[in-house]
Structure 1
Amino acid sequence: MAYESSVPYRAGTEGYTSFRIPAVVRARSGHLLAFAEGRVSSAADSGTIHIVLKRSADAGRTWGPLQVVARNGNGTAGNPAPVVLDSGRVLLLQVHNAADATEDRIRRGRVPRADGRRVWLQHSDDDGASWSPPREITDQAKLPQWRWYATGPGHALQLRHGPYTGRLLVPANHSTPPTGPQDSGTEPRYNGGHALLSDDDGATWRIGYTDSHSHSHSAGDSDTDRSVAPNETTAAELPDGSVYLNARSEAVAAWRRVDAVSTDGGEHLVRPFRPQAGLTGPAVQGSALHLGDRGALLFSGPAHPAARALMTLRTSRDGGLTWRTAHTVGGLPAAYSDLVRLDRHSVGLLYETGDFSAYSTITFRRIPVEEPT
């Protein structure tokens, strides 16, 4: 069966060397908003990077002109984490850092606090046509001891079921300083996951659960086993109001995907992150999406056990306990992705892919949710 696809972003075009880190949401009008990092001078994760946007009025078949939503001078504005509120307002959380503040330097504490990872927020009240200036929320979103920090990337949530209806939940991750000798090149990477929560439509924010080896910020937090190290987390609300969390693991172990569940709107975890062996793949970001009361929980990500390739849509009917393949998108190189519900019969997948490199394009694919195994 042929599936409709389009290419909103192609490396080496529109003034950018590379486009990375896709995120997509459906505005209240039905327009799709496809965000990415536009990397100006190289494909590297640091440097001059803008958050860019393309909009589609026809379910992803065609895309409008490129918009630059956020700049940080000659530094980095990245890790887009958008969410559409019930009011129709679109919020976009993001992180900024100086151009020379690489992840390794930040993790090692070699970057001044002002140049490190800082958290910002923008909003749009016209389906992404125009945007407010960025507003910094670092003091509400990041603990002083955290070094590396990332929102999402990928869509965030407004909860719609149970006692926490209306709450905003943004999955995020952080790192803490190593406790052993530094500069050896072998010190542990103390990755942890956490949630940003807002109960007033984004006016104020606070940190919900934290899940890491150390530096928990409340008595209700639980330490993750050292065989996993949560990073780049995605979240989906289940029909009972609980939140399923799935993360890339950075630990030196066989487990590349880990998951956890919150039953109190992201304040705490029922259990820490643990290995999810049903989602084979490399160390890479992925996306989760629940289809509704009678629908399935979906996960998108590369399925090759070692390489960023073989983008695959997998499905769970038991809240993420077990998984099966629903649709193999293609056998090409592929990396980051984000899922969005289009209508009753289909979902959209925005993902990095290319013939010889996973980073040649960001492609959009429309996939029927009834796709058989």
Structure 2
Amino acid sequence: MRIVNDTMLLLGVFFFWSSCQQLETPEPVQTQVLWSQADSSHNNYRIPALVVSTKQTLLAFAEGRESGDSGDIDILLRRSTDQGRSWDEQQVVWDDGPNTCGNPCPVVDQTSGRIYLFMTWNLGSDSEDAIIRKQSQDTRIPYFCYSDDDGLSWSEPVSLAESGKVPDWGWYATGPGVGIQLQAEPYKNRLVIPCNNSYTVEQEGEAVKGAYGYGAHVLLSDDGGQSWRMSELISPKVNESQVVELADGSLMMNMRSYQGKACRAVSFSRDGGKSWSEPEPAPQLVESVCQGSIIRLEGHAERPLLFSNPAVPVGRTHMTVRCSFDEAKSWSNSKLIYAGPSAYSCLAALPGGRIGLFFEAGEHHPYEKMVFISFAPEELFSFNLLANDKLSESNLSGFLP
């Protein structure tokens, strides 16, 4: 039976009780299922994205799907004004009938408060494989919309087919995850949106599917989102990407890798995202082939980097958060969040200093539910968050509100 009771999944995401009893925390771990296959608006829900507005509202985006990665897909949103304790009812940001509106990738302009949401569109009758192989009726196109009222309403989506995509590119995806706004001069306030795409390869060794390879890039804006331009392509054999600004002002792109190393890949930019270094493996960030999330924990004294993904070389299980206190040179404090099936994730630094993680998980496969969890960083740095494959009610005692 594919529908699993929400409580059963929450049982698998909890603090080790004996440790919690010995440690005083301002607020215990919070968990909540935001979407589930038990919900009735769509058949399935995937692709988490989580940001915090300038008014400290949490915005959790997802795809509402009728089938798989193509077909009828809508962009959905739930909001929380109390740091994730409770959530508004679902709203539909973009629904284009039977067509695909996917890959939510939001960014907040801290100067204006405007929330931009980047997305991608294609005909619902065109599959990803057909788009990659140039056998589709149409192609995949990046779009964006925005909200000036804290996510309560959204503008009409605007196409970036001309300024945001090279004609040769077939498949295109924004994120999945979030964009960032740069803080260091000379590129302060630049908006950076991580993206990825397929392209026609010139060398056989670059190919991932037939005659086509996978690469990543970013979209850039220096005028508060009024205009957007593309960076150079990062290739070969990388795609789904997230970007973070390092302490020296350089950027690091963290990417899903097809290089056969069972780990993530990274690339660096020293010109605000315009050009990028050759991708290289990040062996400490173990992964099969999946999506991951990386952010800086602003507000914490040491401003560490956090990274989340299903940290296994094969399959999609063991959702894990890692910390870096040396600008991604090394990763420590690896904490298991959920040992069961789990896939895509999105981290966020929450108001008051807590850490938020929005991720896909389930008992039998990773796409049964989309779970939000929040916890204090001291708890992450001090001891493990544990997950129990045997989801028994006794394990939950004392952890859920």
Task: Please say whether Structure 1 and Structure 2 have the same fold, judged by a TM-score greater than 0.5.
Answer: yes
Q: Computing the radius of gyration over CA atoms, which structure comes out larger, 1 or 2?
A: 2
2:80 corresponds to: 56
Alignment of 1:84-95 (within 5 A): 84-86=108-110, 87-95=112-120
Rate the CA distance shift 1:209–1:368 in 2: closer, same or farther, 3 A: farther
- Offset at residue 179 of structure 1 (A): 5.2
- State whether residues 312 and 325 of structure 1, in contact with CA within 8 Å, keep that contact through their aligned partners in structure 2: no
CA shift digits 1:20-57 (9 cap, x unpaired): 00001001111100000000x22x00010000000011
Q: Relative contact order (alpha carbons < 8 A, sep ≥ 6): 1 or 2 greater? A: 2
The answer to whether residue 211 in structure 2 is matched with residue 193 in structure 1 is: no
Q: CA separation in 2, counterparts of 1:157 and 1:208?
A: 15
Quick check: 1:316–1:324 contact (8 Å CA) kept in 2? yes
Give the corresponding residue for 1:282.
288
Residue 248 of structure 1 is matched in structure 2 by 256
| C-alpha contact 1:178 1:187 (8 A) present in aligned 2 | no
Distance in 2 (alpha carbons) for counterparts of 1:47 and 1:18: 12
- The alpha-carbon deviation at position 122 of structure 1 amounts to 0.3
Contact 1:22 1:336 in 2 (8 A): yes
1:160 shift after superposition:
1.5
In the alignment, the residues of structure 1 paired with residue 268 and residue 201 of structure 2 have an alpha-carbon distance, to the nearest angstrom, of 27
Matched, 1:301 2:325: no
3-state SS of 1:140 partner? coil
Q: What CA distance in whole angstroms lies between the structure 2 residues aligned with 1:208 and 1:180?
A: 22
Alignment map for 1:135-150 (pairs within 5 Å): 135-150=158-173
Q: State the alpha-carbon separation in 2 of the partners of residues 179 and 260 from structure 1.
A: 21
Unpaired runs of 5+ in structure 1?
Answer: 213-223
1:172 to 195, 212, 226: 195
Residue 272 (structure 2) aligns with: 265
- Structure 2 counterpart of 1:151: 174
8 A contact 1:250–1:256 mirrored in 2: no
Q: Report if the CA contact (8 A) 1:284-1:335 is conserved.
A: yes
Match of residue 220 from structure 1: none
Unaligned runs of at least 5 residues, structure 2: 1-14, 16-27, 384-401
> Which of 60, 63, 82 lines up with 1:34 in the alignment?
60
Distance in 2 between residues matched to 1:186 and 1:364, nearest whole Å: 34
Question: In 1, Cα distance between the equivalents of 2:264 and 2:126?
Answer: 27
Aligned residues: 350
Shift of 1:188: 5.3
Identity %: 39
Matches of 1:100 and 1:53 in 2, distance apart?
Answer: 25
Alignment of 1:133 onto 2:148? no
Deviation of the 1:189 alpha carbon = 4.3
Q: In the aligned structure 2, how far is the partner of 1:265 from the partner of 1:11?
A: 40
- C-alpha displacement at 1:157, in angstroms? 0.7
* Residues 27, 33 of structure 1: 8 Å contact kept: yes
**Secondary structure in 1 matching 2:315:** coil
Provide the aligned C-alpha RMSD in A.
1.8
Amino acid at match of 1:289: I
1:111 matched to 2:136? The reply is yes
TM-score w.r.t. length of structure 2: 0.84
Work out the CA distance in 2 between the residues paired with 1:188 and 1:53: 37
